[in-house]
Amino acid sequence: MRDLSKDRSLLAINSATVKPWTLEQLVEGCVRTGITAIAPWRDIVQAAGVEKAGSLIRAAGLSVTCLCRAGLFPAADEAGRRAALDDNRRAVDEAAAIGARSLVLIAGGLPKGSKDLAGAHRQVHDGIAALLPHARESGVPLAIEPLHPMYAADRACVNTLAHANDLCDQLGDGVGLAVDVYHVWWDPDLTAQIARAGKRILTYHVCDWLVPTRDLLLDRGMPGDGVIDLRSIRAMVEATGYNGHIDVEIFSAQDWWKREPSDVLRICLERHQTVV
Amino acid sequence: MRDLSKDRSLLAINSATVKPWTLEQLVEGCVRTGITAIAPWRDIVQAAGVEKAGSLIRAAGLSVTCLCRAGLFPAADEAGRRAALDDNRRAVDEAAAIGARSLVLIAGGLPKGSKDLAGAHRQVHDGIAALLPHARESGVPLAIEPLHPMYAADRACVNTLAHANDLCDQLGDGVGLAVDVYHVWWDPDLTAQIARAGKRILTYHVCDWLVPTRDLLLDRGMPGDGVIDLRSIRAMVEATGYNGHIDVEIFSAQDWWKREPSDVLRICLERHQTVV
């Protein structure tokens, strides 16, 4: 059995965790701290320039666990769906350019004015199906990330691993899963659905659920500061054969985003070794 | 087929919707407006005095769809679990005294300091099992209400109709379900789990999911102001044979709780006829 307390090489830093930083700062901070992998959001990759971002990351010898994020498929009309598909194809190209091991997709919510949840589900399926040929040609695996049900209306109408696993069953090769503890920890079906996911798990994300949670979007906790049984969920994920990085992704407008990013990195490293 | 637009006799008002009112004011307001049923919370029943509350409600000829709420079973130690059970037995007595057709139970969250979700699930099962003999003797059906997953940590660790249906399977006669659209609307398994529930549905609650939702607890919308497809979910519930009242329950610190309760009643009646 692996000694988790010493296994710091598995830590990856998601750029959302150190939101004030540019890609250049993130790369420099990780290299300086001995962190071997990053998970950038598209905004900082685009700000750096996609080709330059790839060169920078390769020169630093960093792995890219995933590119965050694309998806957001449902739209009120055909033009909206086409625009979403075009943007998703660009995201695949960006992921390929920086050598990302997967592109994270979130479903998208209800189109404005719509109450048709089943229709939105169908649009998500059809959108991923339309994106898939380009992703396969580009060698970029798509990682469907179910988001917490509190985001069903406005961000993502795929909210359980069961639903995401169903989509993988339907869509076939080239589609897998992003598992983020924040979104799935509450699910009574978690153990069964992670086992069912098996080799589909492409990327694994951690943070913590705070009590109280003061904001639906921007009040995630540092691993260890909340109620999620991180070691148990990690054990479930690793029992599937997953041996990739563990990506710390924290949205925290009132706390972690206000701190010095270098301090945040140091604490991520500590927590990775003690509680993740 | 029933003409929904005229069927105002099915509206019930939950006391949480008109939070500034006492039980006396709620009863008087409903009688004046031609509303035939209420769903009081325990606080206003206790404030009126339980026996007096029963007399008042009976004299007014109102139905009591359910008493809200008891449950909250998990605790850190045996003394805590015993205190919860004692309080639940008192809630059963209160429900019987006011002629409530069911007692709503929410599960309760993780005990303070605990990350053991599976253990909390077991405590919920065992707590309901311990309460059940007294509820059966008292003729008070227990209505397990799954709450939205965003409450899993601190209010209720039973968050899906599938889990609540499983508990009903395990616990047998005297246990059913409270279905509140706010908690279950997002569930991709909703149609199947409502059909599975069948005759178990003891009480049906509506409000709406607002976009954006500004607070996890106290920002529910008036039916029609959000994204929930209320008529579709009602059709699923009524297809099981449910023909009871539809209880409007809105927690809304910044909006509806600040309005004149008589106006809120009037708008509930309008929305009941147009969108519920």
Q: Which residues of B touch A162 (CB under 8 A)?
A: 188-189
Are B149 and A150 in contact (CB < 8 Å)?
yes
8 Å CB contact between A110 and A73: no
- For residue A113, the chain B residue with the least C-alpha distance is B227
* Residue A7, pLDDT score: 72
Work out the average pLDDT over A74-78: 98
Could you give the strand order of the β-sheet that contains B142-144, starting from the edge strand earlier in sequence?
B63-64, B37-39, B11-14, B246-248, B201-206, B175-180, B142-144, B103-106, B67-71
Handedness of CA A51, A54, A55, A57 (dihedral sign): positive
Work out the average pLDDT over B137-163: 98
Can you give the length of chain A in residues?
276
Residues 6+ away with beta carbon under 8 Å from B124: B71, B73, B74, B107, B108, B157, B158, B167
* Residue recorded with tokens 């009524």: B238
* Total number of domains constituting chain A: 1
The shortest CB-CB distance from B211 to any of A153, A211, A229 is to: A153
Q: Which residues of B touch A163 (CB under 8 A)?
A: 188
* DSSP summary character for residue A175: E
CA distance from start to end of chain B = 16
CA A10 to chain centre: 16
Percentage of chain B modeled with pLDDT above 90:
97
Can you give the length of chain B in residues?
276
* Residue B6, pLDDT score: 57
**Helix (H), strand (E) at residue B30:** helix B23-33
8 Å CB contact between B143 and A170: no
Q: Count each helix (H run) and each strand (E run) in chain A, helices first.
A: 10, 9
Work out the average pLDDT over B235-250: 98
* Residue recorded with tokens 């968050």: B159
Q: Which residues pair with A63 in a beta bridge?
A: A37
Are B209 and A153 in contact (CB < 8 Å)?
yes
CA B237 to chain centre: 15
Q: Which residues of B touch A216 (CB under 8 A)?
A: 150, 212-213, 216
Q: C-alpha distances in angstroms, B274 versus B2, B230, B271? A: 14, 11, 5
Quote ipTM for the complex.
Answer: 0.96
Q: Which tens digits make up the pLDDT trace of A225-248?
A: 999 999 999 999 999 999 999 999
8 Å CB contact between A221 and A267: no
Work out the average pLDDT over B257-273: 97
- For residue A161, the chain B residue with the least C-alpha distance is B188
Are A150 and B153 in contact (CB < 8 Å)?
no
The shortest CB-CB distance from B216 to any of A117, A152, A216 is to: A216
Q: Which residues of A touch B163 (CB under 8 A)?
A: 188
Q: Report residue A90 as tokens.
A: 């660009």
Q: What's phi and psi for B42, nearest 5 deg?
A: -65, -30
pLDDT band at B7 (very low <50, low <70, confident <90, very high): confident
Q: Which residues of B touch A109 (CB under 8 A)?
A: 211
Q: Which tens digits make up the pLDDT trace of A4-61?
A: 545 778 999 999 999 999 999 999 999 999 999 999 999 999 999 999 999 999 999 9
8 Å CB contact between A197 and A179: yes
* Residue B1, pLDDT score: 47
Q: Which residues of A touch B227 (CB under 8 A)?
A: 110, 114-115, 153
pLDDT band at B8 (very low <50, low <70, confident <90, very high): confident
What angle (nearest 5°) sits at the alpha carbon of residue B129, between those of residues B124 and B135? 115
Are A121 and B188 in contact (CB < 8 Å)?
yes
8 Å CB contact between A126 and A78: no
pLDDT at A110 over 80: yes
The residue range of the domain holding B157 is 4-274
d(CA A137, CA A91): 14
Residue A25 C-alpha, separation from nearest chain B C-alpha, in angstroms:
33
Residues of A with CB under 8 A from a CB of B: 109-110, 114-117, 121, 148-150, 152-154, 157, 159-160, 162-163, 185-189, 209, 211-213, 216, 226-229
- For residue A230, the chain B residue with the least C-alpha distance is B115
**DSSP states along A211-249:** SS---TTTBPBPTTSSS--HHHHHHHHHHTT--S-EEE-
CATH of the domain at B87: 3.20.20.150
CA distance from start to end of chain A = 16
- For residue B118, the chain A residue with the least C-alpha distance is A188
Residues of B with CB under 8 A from a CB of A: 109-110, 114-117, 121, 148-150, 152-154, 157, 159-160, 162-163, 185-189, 209, 211-213, 216, 226-229
pLDDT at A77 over 70: yes
pLDDT at A3 over 60: no
* Model-wide pTM > 0.95: yes
Asked if omega into B212 is within 30° of 0 (cis), the reply is yes
Work out the average pLDDT over B219-224: 98
Average pLDDT, chain B: 96
Q: Which amino acid is at B144?
A: I
- For residue B226, the chain A residue with the least C-alpha distance is A115
Percentage of chain B modeled with pLDDT above 70:
98
* Residue A2, pLDDT score: 54
